[in-house]
């Protein structure tokens, strides 16, 4: 049932839930892998339990789940039941990759840890994604991607210098670790293709997030300086920040580093007299007088719409962007041209928009092909066709609470 794509011959058994793990398998599914998503009706994925289409609750009506699980197959399997574990191992036998995102002891408790699965299939690839990795003094820590930005050092440099650290508005590290997990799985698949050997991938979401503030650690190790919050400013840039524009809650971003960019900005603003002052003659001077400089730039930007500033400065060679909200993202011409958002027809919620990843392969483009599965939608195919079970066998396991 897998769509054609670069990974059309790969099968993934996916026990992961919430965001980080499902983002990995979403990427694999969009490029042709047959991903079998394992759930149970007693403990459905948390994403099935929030943000419903038209605010109408239902396990098959959650648009978040629909977005991060497109292209996958869905089965219900109770691995708290011994027969459920047996069935899981039978599925491992016919799979290439196993994924999970529980705390480290969970898969060991079920007998589904990597060492156990290697006995079932020696060349299996397994990815474990959790908060802080499978080993170490804090490996068992409970939590989620909403608290990890603080542990990863991201919150310390987010916000204003005279205020407390600011959160990043969501599970930031889920979104950074997902693509990293997909890349790690691809590396393991290449390794297996070359050597015939499987591999275990221990993915720490915390460390995946730290990657994006690596320069702060380098600043400390190289210069014994601990970087902290500085609002929208950035060392070596001026002006650099978010500036008000014409309209309600309308903003643009401008980031000037080189002398050429500064001169281009001055020309785009009409060579204002204030820009000729000695306080703005060099980058170092502009940084030193950043507050006054930002006030001047703001006075210019607030007379124009974000798009007008964006188009004018981009044409002049000045790095500039618009601050877009969700509605504006949906109508953005660049994203439309790239077909970043794809509309799929979901049996419960109707038209459902899902997003692609930010890369396209020329020979095997990939992309969303099939809506996210309903709860247990593909039980008959997976247990019947793939495992060869009869209808009577499946019915009996349903009665016993195994396929449930």
> What are the tokens at 181?
């997990």
Q: What is the pLDDT of residues 189-217, one digit of tens each?
A: 999 999 999 999 999 999 999 988 989 99
Question: Where residue 146 falls among pLDDT bands split at 50, 70, 90?
Answer: confident
What is the pairing mode between strands 97-100 and 11-14?
A: parallel
Q: Is a pLDDT exceeding 90 seen at residue 169?
A: no
CB-based contacts of 20, cutoff 8 Å, min separation 6: 101, 129, 145, 171, 173, 174, 177, 178, 181, 205
* 378: nearest Cα among 351, 347, 357, 342: 347
Largest CA-CA distance found in the chain, in angstroms, rounded:
86
Average pLDDT, the chain: 94
CB-based contacts of 332, cutoff 8 Å, min separation 6: 324
Architecture of domain 240-328 in this structure: 2-Layer Sandwich (3.30)
For residues 128 and 3, the model is more confident at 128
Answer yes or no: 348 catalytic.
no
> Are 150 and 211 within 8 A, CB to CB?
no
User: Quick one: pLDDT at residue 4?
Assistant: 75
User: Quick one: pLDDT at residue 1?
Assistant: 45
User: Quick one: pLDDT at residue 171?
Assistant: 84
Question: Looking at 174, 235, 355, 392, which residue is catalytic?
Answer: 174
Question: Where residue 2 falls among pLDDT bands split at 50, 70, 90?
Answer: very low
> Are 140 and 37 within 8 A, CB to CB?
no
Angle between helical axes of 259-268 and 306-316 (0-180°, round to 10): 130
User: Quick one: pLDDT at residue 367?
Assistant: 92
Question: Hunting for tokens 């099935």 — which residue is that?
Answer: 48
C-alpha dist (Å) from residue 331 to 244, 256, 323: 21, 28, 14
Q: What is the pLDDT of residues 264-306, one digit of tens each?
A: 999 999 999 999 999 999 999 999 999 999 999 999 999 999 9
Q: Is a pLDDT exceeding 60 seen at residue 154?
A: yes
C-alpha span between 2 and 366 (Å, rounded)? 12
C-alpha span between 39 and 262 (Å, rounded)? 55
CB-based contacts of 83, cutoff 8 Å, min separation 6: 397, 400, 402
Q: What is the pLDDT of residues 311-355, one digit of tens each?
A: 999 999 999 999 999 999 999 999 999 999 999 999 999 999 999
**Where along the chain do its domains lie?**
11-211+339-399, 240-328
For residues 239 and 3, the model is more confident at 239
pTM: 0.91
Q: Which CATH class is domain 11-211+339-399?
A: alpha beta
> What are the tokens at 190?
């290449």
């Amino acid at each position: 049932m897998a769509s054609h794509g670069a990974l059309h011959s790969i099968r993934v058994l996916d026990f992961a839930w919430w965001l980080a793990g499902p983002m990995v398998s979403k990427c694999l599914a969009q490029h042709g892998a047959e991903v079998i998503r394992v759930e149970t009706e007693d403990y459905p994925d948390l994403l099935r339990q929030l943000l419903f289409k038209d605010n109408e609750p239902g396990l098959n009506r959650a648009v978040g789940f629909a977005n991060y699980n497109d292209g996958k197959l869905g089965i219900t399997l109770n691995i708290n039941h011994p027969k459920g574990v047996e069935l899981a191992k039978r599925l491992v036998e016919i799979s290439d990759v196993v994924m999970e995102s529980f705390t480290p002891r969970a898969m060991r408790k079920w007998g589904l840890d990597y060492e156990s699965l290697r006995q079932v299939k020696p060349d299996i690839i397994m990815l474990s994604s959790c908060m802080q990795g499978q080993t170490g003094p804090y490996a068992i820590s409970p939590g989620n991607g909403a608290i990890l930005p603080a542990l990863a050092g991201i919150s310390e440099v987010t916000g204003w210098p005279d205020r407390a650290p600011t959160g990043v508005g969501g599970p930031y590290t889920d979104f950074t670790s997902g693509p990293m997990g997909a890349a790690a799985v691809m590396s393991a698949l290449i390794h297996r293709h070359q050597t015939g050997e499987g591999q275990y991938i221990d993915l720490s979401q915390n460390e995946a997030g730290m990657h994006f503030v690596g320069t702060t650690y380098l600043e400390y190790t190289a210069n014994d300086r601990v970087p902290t919050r500085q609002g929208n400013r950035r060392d070596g840039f001026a002006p650099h920040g978010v500036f008000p524009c014409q309209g309600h809650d309308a903003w643009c971003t401008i980031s000037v580093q080189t002398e050429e960019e500064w001169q281009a900005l001055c020309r785009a603003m009409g060579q204002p007299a204030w820009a000729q002052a000695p306080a703005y003659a060099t980058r170092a001077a502009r940084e030193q007088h950043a507050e006054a400089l930002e006030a001047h730039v703001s006075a210019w930007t607030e007379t124009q719409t974000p798009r007008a500033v964006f188009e004018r400065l981009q044409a002049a060679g000045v790095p500039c962007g618009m601050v877009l909200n969700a509605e504006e993202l949906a109508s953005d011409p660049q994203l439309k041209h790239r077909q970043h958002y794809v509309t799929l027809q979901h049996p419960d919620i109707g038209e459902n928009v899902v997003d692609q990843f930010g890369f396209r392969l020329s020979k095997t483009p990939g992309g969303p092909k099939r809506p996210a599965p309903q709860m247990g939608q593909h039980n008959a195919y997976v247990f019947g066709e793939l495992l060869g079970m009869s209808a009577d066998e499946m019915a009996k396991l349903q009665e016993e609470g195994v396929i449930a």
